[in-house]
Amino acid sequence: MHKKLIPLVAALACIPAIAAAALAPYPAVTDQRLKHPEPNNWLSYRGNYAGWGFSPLKQINAANVGKLTLAWSYATGMQEGHQAPPMVNDGYMFVTTPNNQVIALEAATGKELWRYKKALPPELQQLHPTNRGVALYGDRLYLATTDACLVALDAKTGKEIWTKQVADWKAGYYMTLAPLAAKGKIMVGSSGGEYGIRGFVAAFDAKTGEEAWRTYTIPAPGEPGGDTWPEGTYKHGGGSVWITGTYDPDSNIAYWGVGNAGPWMPDTRAGDNLYANSTIALDVDTGKLKGYHQYHYNDAWDWDEVSAPLLIDMPYKGRQVKGLVHAARDGYLWVLDREHGGKIGFVAGWPYVDQNAFKSIDPKTGRPTYDPARRPATGKTVQFCPSLWGGKDWPPEAYNPHTGLLYIPANNHLCSELTGEPTKYQKGQLYLGVSLQNVLTNVRMTDKSRKSIGEVQAWDLKTGKQVWTHTYPEMNWGPLLTTAGDLVFGGGTNDRMFHAFDARTGKLLWQFPAPSGITGVPSSFEVDGEQYIAVQAGWGVDAQRMQGAFDAVLEHKTVVPQGGTVMVFKLAH
């Protein structure tokens, strides 16, 4: 070899080593790390077990967020709703997309490391073709899929380690949630209430995939709560679980939100219909039901209460409360108490959006009294507020321990009209009791909703006072992130904007036009001393269906571009 080429060859030989050294070896995600997540990482669906959606990072703050700029972006190649948070573990980023893809990226640069796609049965009809993220645990990732499988992947390579069929997709079971990992178990729930499934939460051994326990959300006859259902109806009673639970490591109890009962019309299933429309408390070791709180009984409005409550400890009216806080689809903001042994006590509840279906709530138990004129039933046409998508649908609220405020992505002033119809269960077919055409055109405008609908609200839970509100002309389907830099981030609007607000005042400080509307969960992380804000754009699923309902009743039509993009922002230097 020519002597002059030797240094060049030596340099070229070093390139793979340099590239490989760009990321340190993948660090295992332990129970201890999940209990006390490092500020620079985003290891779970909402950043911590309490479900706060809070980042302790503050390099990006209210004073400099105006300098936020796009660091990199990545087109996922997928259509429909991109709702998963970018999860980050020491420089490794993982996102999921519709059609059960997992993509591993270098968090600081966007370089693709690997991509996994779960093959789906060709005859599977996806009612909600989305995915809300993976669970990180050990050196593996766990994915829940729309054909009702739980998949374990090698976090370093994307190689499939094991796959377990969790439920029968031909009967309408499907999964869209990010699994919850704790104490050697991977916990999931199932969607499919629209098809007459019987909801459950199930836990699987993280190493082997063997099922550890399964707890149904709809009790059978002879089980506690089984007498709240007419004979035989529990088998198709809904109560789906499609949002990740929260977890209290000190009590070893996970809290899960449970969807509405099925079919939708309440006269078809007389009774309270436990544990639909509830938060349930489950022992993570055994799956035993330790407690529950039902927000509203014998639901008539499709008000799923699937969002798990946030764990927020706080003083309230002279006593310390180990709180469970839930901005409910029924339009009430609920504060509950994590009592000893897993029981759930009622503390307070009040409407955070226009609500005309409840006349009052019991001050001791929180049980509502209904206005019968606002109760849809078979053969009746009824208008009610909030709409069937609720005061807040699945997009998660956020809590900032520095400001002490809870932030809610709300839809206010919006109402629905439903006409109940007879229905009969058929395996794998819609089991609603309302025509699909009625669902797609259900919204009814009021004078207020013609001015504004979508809101970002900030609440002081200690006083029950609303501190600030930012309004949007139309809907808000934007999950929220709040940071120690006194910021609140969220998208959710049909103008494709990603927004940053002053967490204390609500002032809009920055916004960025994404390629598509944003219904993804934002996250924040740090690599080499640089803070980043990450989110996926990709409009679809229920946000698009609400847009279709708006288009049916408004004079103008709105087209929101499709297509998924991972976007990562940092401060311009």
What secondary structure, in 3-state letters, does 147-160 show? CCEEEEEECCCCCE
Amino acid at 373: A
Is 260 one of the annotated binding-site residues?
A: yes
Let me know: does 284 contact 182? Beta carbons within 8 Å: yes
Q: What CATH topology corresponds to 31-571?
A: Methanol Dehydrogenase; Chain A (2.140.10)
- The alpha carbon of residue 183 and the mean position of all alpha carbons in its chain are separated, in whole angstroms, by 22
Per-residue pLDDT tens over the stretch 336-364: 999 999 999 999 999 999 999 999 999 99
Indicate the SS3 state at residue 341. helix
Catalytic-labelled residue, pool 299, 302, 337, 393: 302
Interacting residues of 33 by C-beta distance below 8 A, sequence separation 6+: 43
Amino acid at 370: Y
Asked, as a colleague might, if the bond just before 386 is cis with ω within 30 of 0, I would say: yes
Distance, in Å, from the CA atom of 501 to the CA atom of 494, rounded to the nearest integer, reads 18
- The pLDDT value given to residue 14: 39
Nearest to 137, CA basis, from 9, 28, 254, 57: 28
Distance, in Å, from the CA atom of 301 to the CA atom of 297, rounded to the nearest integer, reads 11
Instruction: Give me 162's structure tokens.
Output: 């094991």
**205 part of the active site:** no
Instruction: Identify the segments of the chain with pLDDT beneath 70.
Output: 1-21
Own/partner contacts of 505-508, CB < 8 Å, gap of 24 or more, are 505/468, 506/456, 506/458, 506/467, 506/468, 506/469, 506/470, 508/470
Diameter over CA atoms, the chain? 92
Per-residue pLDDT tens over the stretch 270-279: 999 999 999 9
What end-to-end distance do the CA atoms of the chain give, in Å?
44
Per-residue pLDDT tens over the stretch 150-173: 999 999 999 999 999 999 999 999
Half-sphere exposure of 175 (CA within 13 A, CB side): 31
H/E stretch holding 542:
helix 541-553
Distance, in Å, from the CA atom of 544 to the CA atom of 452, rounded to the nearest integer, reads 18
Is 269 one of the annotated binding-site residues?
A: no
Let me know: does 267 contact 378? Beta carbons within 8 Å: yes
Q: In what order do the strands lie in the sheet with 480-483?
A: 54-55, 480-483, 487-490, 497-502, 508-513
- The pLDDT value given to residue 309: 98
Instruction: Give me 35's structure tokens.
Output: 């209990």
- The pLDDT value given to residue 573: 85
The full set of domain ranges for the chain reads 31-571
Is 227 one of the annotated binding-site residues?
A: no
- The pLDDT value given to residue 10: 44
Distance, in Å, from the CA atom of 166 to the CA atom of 173, rounded to the nearest integer, reads 9
Instruction: Give me 235's structure tokens.
Output: 């088998």
Enumerate the β-bridge partners of residue 466.
459
Instruction: Give me 41's structure tokens.
Output: 């990482």
Is 299 one of the annotated binding-site residues?
A: no
Per-residue pLDDT tens over the stretch 3-55: 444 444 444 443 433 344 479 999 999 999 999 999 999 999 999 999 999 99
Distance, in Å, from the CA atom of 307 to the CA atom of 295, rounded to the nearest integer, reads 12
- The pLDDT value given to residue 301: 98
Is 246 one of the annotated binding-site residues?
A: no
